[in-house]
Structure 1
Amino acid sequence: MSKRQVVIGMLGTQLDAGVGPGRWEKWRPTVSLGMHEDFLLGRLELLVDARRYAKLASVVSADLAQASPETELRVHDTYLADPWDFEGVYATLHDFLSGYDFRTEEEDYYVHITTGTHVSQICWFLLAESRHFPGRLLQTSPPRKQGGGDPGSYAVIDLDLSRYDLIAQRFQQQRLHDRDLLKSGIATRNAAFNRMIEQIETVATRSKAPMLLMGPTGAGKSQLAKRVFELKKLKHQLPGQFVEVNCATLRGDGAMSTLFGHVKGAYTGAAGDRAGLLRSAHRGLLFLDEIGELGQDEQAMLLRALEEKRFLPVGGDKEVESDFQLIAGTNRDLQQAVAQGRFRDDLLARLNLWTYRLPGLADRVEDIEPNLDFELERWSREQHQRVTFNREARERYLRFATSGEAAWSGNFRDLGASVMRLATLAVGGRIQLDLVQEEIERLRATWHGAQAASPLDALLGERSGELDRFDRVQLEEVVRVCARARSLSQAGRELFAYTRSQRASTNDADRLRKYLARFGLDWEQVRGGGGSE
């Protein structure tokens, strides 16, 4: 069954004008839309400035109804203060499309660019190119000789974007806006991550193929999948809904039912039909997180659903349809899972067309600061309470957060939880240095365990977070040797056992004393005042 053809166009205040019987001898572009035998106009959405052109719109509407009785006409009162003002025209057309109920599965859409000013034509092209309008441009032309009711000709065309510098700039601005949406509005500074987001934006706009997001737990796979959905929804590419499930929570017989649904009586307790997540995601986006946890049977069913858009519910003998887009997430090495026989190679091949690895937070230290600001702003917005760091507290937190000591094993979840604790405990909306130090100790204990805390924390306090990772590892070992030695000389002999044999004269105690002094430490501090030379 062919789709209904729908045209959106603006009333031509000059070209569409005409009165009396002689108007039928004149070519009028809007009326001609309904006169082509090979272009069946199902519906015309006519944008009219009713304040000034209501009478002309009435005549054109009546004539179109006479020329094409089967065409549905909808007239939209559209006021343009200045039809030659780019900003005003673009905003008006953008708002119209944003509120329009596009049904791309049932209808094909065209914009009639013959009528309206050149400014409106440029705006229509921009909106079509950026997918705010999910259709094509339609150009109509008059016949060589007027008269005789000849409708002229029409063509579906593309314009050359490079001819319009202003449009090219605005199109680039729209792409930057789309990428910003994928990054949740966070001004990320990691070059590799930004390049990945640029490609995901392109793929999300142009492809319906599955996408595989890899990365550790908490790296933001679920959040990115939601943003991809929002971007495609904004561009009228997915009229359905976003459906998400963590496959690690699916176990036993319930896994099949949850994903593919069941019919009444399929098993004990199945009192009624259940649609299942794949059907719920029809014409939308399905995000299967931790897809590597799916069982073999579920993998086989999913593969068939991806390839044929059809599958059998549990206990059913009639196939159901679901046309969904899939994004899968995993923190596992699926290639290794294939080698071990735990994941189907044909399913991985289907998923592996667009694969992106999301780095953990510890691999994006330059992005910790903007994400810190984002999390704090989000907490303030949700709690309706403004919370900020004082300068010293912010600097201390960031020094620790970006140091090698910060494991961020839970990635962005750890950061979000940390900010929530700080904001909740802040007195008077200000996060002070003592609160930050307490939070740092909490994070250390979480990542390394209370027993594994560095001995440098007690000795150096806040200065401990200022050490390079190389110095920290070396100094920690020196302090541990000193702690169990009876004297400074004994500690020096143990630490410099090899190099002392290469020297004519040695003073191990002096070498160790000078080393400790580099970090503002002395033997008494390290030994707690209990040692002697």
Structure 2
Amino acid sequence: MAKTKARQTVVLGMLGTTLDTGQGPQRWSKWRPTVALCQQEDLVVHRLELLHPPGATALAGTLVADIRQVSPETTVRTTTMAIRNPWDLEETYGALLDYVRAYPFNPEEEDYLVHITTGTHIAQICMFLLVESRLIPGRLVQLSPEKRDSSSAGTHTLIDLDLSRYDTLATRFQQEQREGLSFLKSGIDTRNAAFNRLIERIEQVATNSRAPLLITGPTGAGKSQLARRIYTLKKTRATVSGPFVDLNCATLRGDGAMSALFGHVKGSFTGALQDRPGLLRQAHGGVLFLDEIGELGADEQAMLLRALEDKRFLPVGSDREVESDFQLIAGTNRDLRDDVERGRFREDLLARINLWTFQLPALRERPEDIAPNLLYELDKASETMGTRITLNKEAQERFLRFATSPDARWTGNFRDLNAAVLRMATLAPGGRITRDVVDEELERLRAQWRTGGTRPGPLRAVGPGDKVAEVMGEELAQELDRFDRVQLADVLGVCQGVRSLSEAGRVLFTQSRARKASVNDADRLKKYLARFGLTWADVSGRGTTTSE
């Protein structure tokens, strides 16, 4: 039977123009890492590829002779690396990359180590990157001297960059990721698979990117809470150092909008009695959350775009630019692409902020998550009221049966759920919510969501205001701007008179669809309705989300 050929150990390393130096007999009393590498009792180096700068040829020759003396089994091959500036990352990496690409690696017969004790820090980083990217199919080796005996060979450590081999590291990384996901979900054990995948991707992006994030979804879906938790997670991971600054853009009005965002100088307008830094400057080094970003005016949009691209802008009344480096998280319940088509939102700003866009689903789209969110709201209510609030088993089952049924609209999403739990907690005798308290709350919710006495039912031909109130309830309808209410009423009228979601989309977007190479009118309509917490089933009276 033929003997298996023993594998050879090959080391690639840079000559240390400082650590490896030494002249005369006294050099043997000094610790020289390249020589010490070949003196390790439990590491046999069969071949050493010694890379050195042009001016160190003589030193390389001395090392070759010394290694031959201490380790006759080691073959040393020297290669001159024409690197003019060894502290230039681009030049050094380029030279080493060319060397590695031309090297005849033979991993079937040879094991490769890369010596990172010597060379400049830049060279060590480049060697690390070449191993980490597997361009060098090997491991790292690090030498350390003995503290009390400088003539000793010292010790060595092998480092494998395949982290999957390090169970402890892999376990700690997975645990950290799980903790991040749990934190973003407020510790709620959510069960909706699509939502959990969404949060997993948000955690990945939030911890690795400072690019703008766009969070979309209906009112009350949790955009503000998620933005704040993203910031806290980034702060914990030390990827931001500045503060969290948030603003609901719908609260900005007139000339004060520019001042609130970008600041002003004293005397720039009537009432400007002192300088104001503005929210963008306050967010320097941190996160700026602009909720309802679609409500910004044209001038504010233009200034924000400049601030995002150049990290510079002009405060109101100033002729000197200021700087602010922040990460933007934008929130909206509107279809910004539709706003771009209508000329209400800048296309270039949308392109800048939607590199990462995450659509939060409505609560009614996550029925399996209502139960864990109910428990979370009970804990919040307990904290708010200073006493433990509980639901007995019968009351909880009754509430969840309704909450997950088609009759539960949750138009306000988590705001509705939060309000419902707070009302029940307030009326709970001794902090224990009973079936009677639940029944009273369910009637209150039904009345709040009632659509003309029946739900959903076909829409009647009534006035615009009444039509919106029938579908959303008068309380929510009153919260709409007059423009949105009139527009929504027209959309509802179209939905009433057609047979499918796609047909309604074709009718509503007849003009704009002609200017598009590809269209998805049904999707546009779904997103428009979602702004108001509505679905096709709500407005069509057919009970299904039919596309065709």
In the alignment, which of 412, 415, 437 is matched to residue 414 of structure 2?
A: 412
Q: Which residue of 1 aligns with 2:245?
A: 243
- Partners of 1:384 and 1:362 lie apart in 2 by 30
- Partners of 1:279 and 1:397 lie apart in 2 by 47
CA distances 1:466-503 after superposition (whole Å, capped 9, x unpaired): xxxxxxxxxxxxxxxxxxxxxxxxxxxxxxxxxxxxxx
CA distances 1:226-281 after superposition (whole Å, capped 9, x unpaired): 11101100011111111000001111100000000000001000000000000000
In the alignment, which of 268, 271, 274 is matched to residue 272 of structure 1?
A: 274
Q: How far 1:162 moved relative to its partner?
A: 1.4
Change (3 A) 1:236 1:28: farther
Change (3 A) 1:138 1:205: farther
Change (3 A) 1:426 1:140: farther
- Partners of 2:456 and 2:277 lie apart in 1 by 58
2:432 aligned with 1:430, yes or no?
yes
Q: Which residue of 2 aligns with 1:206?
A: 208
Q: How far 1:384 moved relative to its partner?
A: 2.4
Q: How far 1:382 moved relative to its partner?
A: 3.1
Change (3 A) 1:381 1:141: same
- Correspondence 1:127-166 to 2 at 5 A: 141-142=144-145, 159-166=161-168
Change (3 A) 1:199 1:158: farther
Q: Which residue of 2 aligns with 1:18?
A: none
Q: Unaligned regions of 5+ residues in structure 2, if any?
A: 1-28, 34-115, 118-139, 458-548
Amino acid at match of 1:278: L
- Partners of 2:201 and 2:224 lie apart in 1 by 18
Change (3 A) 1:184 1:139: farther
Describe the SS at the equivalent of 1:452: coil
Say how many residue pairs are matched. 323
Change (3 A) 1:391 1:171: same
Q: How far 1:139 moved relative to its partner?
A: 6.3
- Correspondence 1:3-42 to 2 at 5 A: none
Change (3 A) 1:455 1:159: closer
Amino acid at match of 1:172: Q
Amino acid at match of 1:437: D
Q: How far 1:390 moved relative to its partner?
A: 1.3
Q: Which residue of 2 aligns with 1:398?
A: 400
TM, length-normalised to structure 1: 0.57
- Partners of 2:283 and 2:141 lie apart in 1 by 33
Amino acid at match of 1:249: T
CA distances 1:391-443 after superposition (whole Å, capped 9, x unpaired): 11111100110000001000001000110111111001211111111101111
Q: Which residue of 1 aligns with 2:255?
A: 253
Change (3 A) 1:271 1:165: same
Verify the 8 A CA contact 1:445 1:453 in the aligned structure 2.
no
Q: Which residue of 2 aligns with 1:325?
A: 327
Q: How far 1:312 moved relative to its partner?
A: 0.4
In the alignment, which of 281, 285, 290 is matched to residue 283 of structure 2?
A: 281
Q: Which residue of 2 aligns with 1:121?
A: none
Describe the SS at the equivalent of 1:287: strand
Q: How far 1:444 moved relative to its partner?
A: 1.1
Verify the 8 A CA contact 1:292 1:343 in the aligned structure 2.
yes
2:228 aligned with 1:226, yes or no?
yes
CA distances 1:198-251 after superposition (whole Å, capped 9, x unpaired): 111110111110000000000000011011101100011111111000001111
Change (3 A) 1:212 1:138: farther
| Higher mean C-alpha deviation, range 381-390 or range 324-333 | 381-390
Q: Which residue of 2 aligns with 1:343?
A: 345
Amino acid at match of 1:412: F
CA distances 1:89-117 after superposition (whole Å, capped 9, x unpaired): xxxxxxxxxxxxxxxxxxxxxxxx99xxx
- Partners of 1:454 and 1:351 lie apart in 2 by 39
Q: How far 1:352 moved relative to its partner?
A: 1.2
In the alignment, which of 285, 291, 295 is matched to residue 293 of structure 1?
A: 295
Q: How far 1:455 moved relative to its partner?
A: 12
Amino acid at match of 2:389: V
CA distances 1:136-192 after superposition (whole Å, capped 9, x unpaired): x9967449xx859x9x9x99x984311212321221111011000110100001100
Amino acid at match of 2:418: G
Verify the 8 A CA contact 1:444 1:453 in the aligned structure 2.
no
Q: How far 1:448 moved relative to its partner?
A: 1.7
- Partners of 1:139 and 1:349 lie apart in 2 by 47
Q: Which residue of 2 aligns with 1:307?
A: 309
- Partners of 2:401 and 2:332 lie apart in 1 by 31
2:390 aligned with 1:388, yes or no?
yes
- Partners of 1:298 and 1:140 lie apart in 2 by 58
Verify the 8 A CA contact 1:299 1:347 in the aligned structure 2.
yes
Q: Which residue of 1 aligns with 2:57?
A: none
- Partners of 2:141 and 2:435 lie apart in 1 by 64
Describe the SS at the equivalent of 2:268: coil
Change (3 A) 1:138 1:299: farther
Q: Which residue of 2 aligns with 1:452?
A: 453
Q: Which residue of 2 aligns with 1:177?
A: 179
Q: Which residue of 1 aligns with 2:198?
A: 196
Q: Unaligned regions of 5+ residues in structure 1, if any?
A: 1-24, 30-112, 115-136, 457-533
Change (3 A) 1:280 1:455: closer
Amino acid at match of 2:314: L
TM, length-normalised to structure 2: 0.55
